[in-house]
Amino acid sequence: MIKNSDEEDGRLVLGVARSANDNAWRERLSASEARTAMAIAQMEGIPDVLARVLAARGVAQEKAADFLDPTLKSLMPDPSSLQDMDAAVERIADAVQAGKKIAIFGDYDVDGATSSAIFAKYLNWLGLDPIIHIPDRIVEGYGPNGPAIEHLHASGAELLVTLDCGSTSSEAFETARSLNLDVVVIDHHQVGETLPDVAALVNPNRQDDLSGQGHLAAVGVTFLFLVGLNRELRRRGVFDSGRQPDLMSLLDLVALGTVCDVVPLRELNRAYVTRGLAVMHQRQNPGLTALADVARVNGKPVPYHLGFLVGPRINAGGRIGDAALGARLLTTQDSHEARAIAERLDQLNNERQAMEAHMLEEAGAEALAAIDTRDPAVLLTGSEDWHPGIVGLIASRLKEAHRRPAFAIAYDASGKGTGSGRSVHGVDLGAAVRKAVEIGLLEKGGGHAMAAGLTVQREKAGDLEDFFNQTLKDDVEGATRKREIRVDAALTAAGATLDLVELLEKAGPFGAGHSEPVFAFPAHRISFADVVGKGHVRATIAAGDGASLKAICFKADDKPHGRMLLEGRGRNLHLVGTLSIDTWQGTPKVQMRILDVADPQKSRL
């Protein structure tokens, strides 16, 4: 049977073919998924709305029970299934038993900080005092480098372990080899066939790894390594005379790194975050507790708190301050030191936000000019006045605003640019960057499908834009052709209850690769709307039965949907958004986050 386009694409929700943001609203659930949802509801005895959310996210009927109760025990693979894991475990177990001085070389982002912290805390439990080195983003750049390795060796390091980096650091590791310093790499970044010559390289994304764990963040791989190391030390009798390290208490940091690295929240990642949020709620880690307090995290932690409140403050240290602050914060047991570092990170984050606003204004103008004149598939913006630690944030904002991959590049006085790029789903930016390196357009570069970094000379920026256009134009057009929002179900203000939100949490946590449920609210009256904070629009929407719901629309006062809200006071509008529990002033209430708005009279055009 030949399906019509509506059946293939999903039926329109509320007939909205064109919203304020030029989106079509379509049902997320296909006909076959609707049948699966019905079967799940009957088999598991759960409400239809929860079953619909599960089925729409690919949960099979026979997997529903396990999905609703994700456990590490059922989802944790044998660490030995990762290539080189046994070699890494053996080498580090030998160093632990011999009391060797271990140096940890981590990355300067949240994933690197959390990876370094959980490994350091584990070694601390064993009575060891490792050295942690987090490179300066501006001075040292990404990954291991010769001078840092020489410094670590001079400081007494007898074994070097790199976390969230190192898979492509052959040149730096020649320095380690000249010093007779063994290296173990634990990483997750994409890598080609040529690997550095080290004692062990654990990376589920190396081409000869068949573990199927390539979706893990570096902190997830590091935790899996600690499980393997713990097993080996137990086999050797190291714990016969004392208590074993408490691996489960590290899951708050594993959850933080996993969420902030924006890896898909499925399978083991979902179990990491589910269990890690519960550990975080116990407030056992002094540094994480202090940072949550300065970030004003209220109530039970959720992925939003990690990704948008806690994580950016740790990243601020790596972007414009002391890159080692994050790892120091997460490893300290001193509550006074934790508070001081947390307050410093909060201050740096405020400074970062001010820099970002200025840079974004300039980058936005450059992007619009490029679109008007050349309409490139990939946006390249740059300036000598930009801080290289913030270019990734600018690229992300440009990508969101213009719905295409974007790079922001900070050039130095010599014309050498350090850039960061962000992509849209369906466009492998990392692969394109690696190809540009191979043909000589870039000095260096690499990354993931969704994010990449590069070093380029300013005079080659035009050629690089041409290359991206030739390589990615078709992919970008295909990825951005459909402007749509997928909707899980329709609700009214009266139906948006605390019980519903708590029920939906059983299908969470939500994040990358496991999207938050989106609901449509038909023809609700905008009884109140105004601007609050830094460009946010807050509103109250009311159904025909008089029930009302508080709502917020972030950074939208100058966006089409935000303007429609502000101009629509007293009118009925269709709305789509997500639901959460707001605990401000101690009383839990449901709040809607508005994603899009449509005029019932015009949206069918």
Radius of gyration of the chain (CA): 25
Instruction: State both tokens at 140.
Output: 């040292």
Strands (E), 195-252: 200-202
- Residue 1's pLDDT is what? 32
Strand 200-202 relative to strand 379-383, pairing = unpaired
Instruction: State both tokens at 452.
Output: 């990449």
For the stretch 187-202, what's the b/e string if a residue is b when 16 or more beta carbons lie within 10 angstroms of its beta carbon?
bbbbbeeebbebbbbb
What are the φ and ψ backbone dihedral angles of 411, each rounded to 5 degrees? -95, 145
* Burial class of residue 375 (count of CB atoms within 10 Å of its CB; 0-12, 13-18, 19+): exposed
* DSSP secondary structure string for all residues of 445-506: EEE-SSEEEEEEEGGGHHHHHHHHHHHHHHHHHHHHS--EEEE-EE--GGG--HHHHHHHGG
Instruction: State both tokens at 128.
Output: 């060891």
* Average of per-residue pLDDT across 324-334: 96
For the stretch 109-140, what's the b/e string if a residue is b when 16 or more beta carbons lie within 10 angstroms of its beta carbon?
bbbbbbbbbbbbbbbebbeeebbbbbbebeeb
Residue 5 has pLDDT above 60, yes or no: no
Residue 360 has pLDDT above 80, yes or no: yes
What is the CATH architecture of 374-480?
Roll (3.10)
Q: What gap in Å lies between CA 379 and CA 386, rounded to an integer?
A: 16
* Average of per-residue pLDDT across 576-588: 84
Residue matched to tokens 């101690």: 586
Q: State the Cα torsion 156-159-164-165 to the nearest 10°.
A: 90
Q: Check: CATH 3.40.50.150 for 17-23+485-598?
A: no
* DSSP secondary structure string for all residues of 125-187: HTT---EEE---TTTT-SS--HHHHHHHHHTT-SEEEEES--TT-HHHHHHHHHTT-EEEEE-
* Alpha-carbon distances of 176 from 16, 172, 188, rounded to whole Å: 61, 7, 21
Q: What is the largest CA-CA distance in the chain?
A: 77
CB 353, CB 316: distance < 8 Å: no
Question: Does the CA dihedral 228-111-486-51 come out positive or negative?
Answer: positive
Domain residues of the chain, as ranges? 17-23+485-598, 75-346, 374-480
Q: Name the band, by pLDDT with cuts 50, 70 and 90, for residue 19.
A: very high
Residues in CB range of 577: below 8 A, 6 or more apart:
518, 519, 521, 551, 592, 593, 594, 595, 596
> Which of 3-7, 65-69, 366-370 is the most confident on average?
366-370
CATH for the 75-346 domain, from 1.10.10.10, 3.90.1640.30, 3.40.250.10, 3.40.630.30 = 3.90.1640.30
Cis peptide before 130 (omega within 30 of 0): no
Share of the chain above pLDDT 90, in %: 83
* Alpha-carbon distances of 445 from 67, 142, 209, 368, 596, rounded to whole Å: 38, 10, 23, 26, 36
User: How many angstroms separate the first and last alpha carbons of the chain?
Assistant: 29
Q: What is the pTM of this model?
A: 0.87
**3 state DSSP class of 533:** coil
Comparison of pLDDT for 587 and 223, the residue scoring more: 223
* Average of per-residue pLDDT across 28-49: 93
pLDDT tens digits along 393-438: 999 999 988 999 999 999 999 999 999 999 998 899 999 999 999 9
pLDDT tens digits along 527-557: 999 999 989 999 999 999 999 999 999 989 9
Residue 55 has pLDDT above 50, yes or no: yes
CB 213, CB 77: distance < 8 Å: yes
| DSSP designation for 507 | G
For the stretch 452-461, what's the b/e string if a residue is b when 16 or more beta carbons lie within 10 angstroms of its beta carbon?
bbbbbbeebb
Q: What gap in Å lies between CA 52 and CA 43, rounded to an integer?
A: 13
Residue matched to tokens 């350091």: 120
pLDDT tens digits along 256-294: 999 999 898 989 999 999 999 999 999 999 999 999 999
CB 181, CB 166: distance < 8 Å: no
CB 199, CB 160: distance < 8 Å: no
* Average of per-residue pLDDT across 198-209: 97
Residue 379 has pLDDT above 60, yes or no: yes
The least confident of 91-105, 331-345, 411-425, 470-484 is: 470-484
| DSSP designation for 436 | H
* Alpha-carbon distances of 236 from 102, 233, 240, 434, rounded to whole Å: 20, 5, 9, 43
Q: Name the band, by pLDDT with cuts 50, 70 and 90, for residue 10.
A: confident
Q: Name the band, by pLDDT with cuts 50, 70 and 90, for residue 9.
A: low
CB 479, CB 426: distance < 8 Å: yes
Q: What gap in Å lies between CA 108 and CA 211, rounded to an integer?
A: 27
Residue of 472, 443, 504 lying closest to 379 (CA atoms): 472
pLDDT tens digits along 292-313: 999 999 888 999 899 999 999 9
- Residue 605's pLDDT is what? 54
What are the φ and ψ backbone dihedral angles of 64, each rounded to 5 degrees? -60, -45
Residue of 4, 193, 204 lying closest to 84 (CA atoms): 204
Residue of 209, 148, 225, 216 lying closest to 181 (CA atoms): 148
Q: What gap in Å lies between CA 65 and CA 61, rounded to an integer?
A: 8
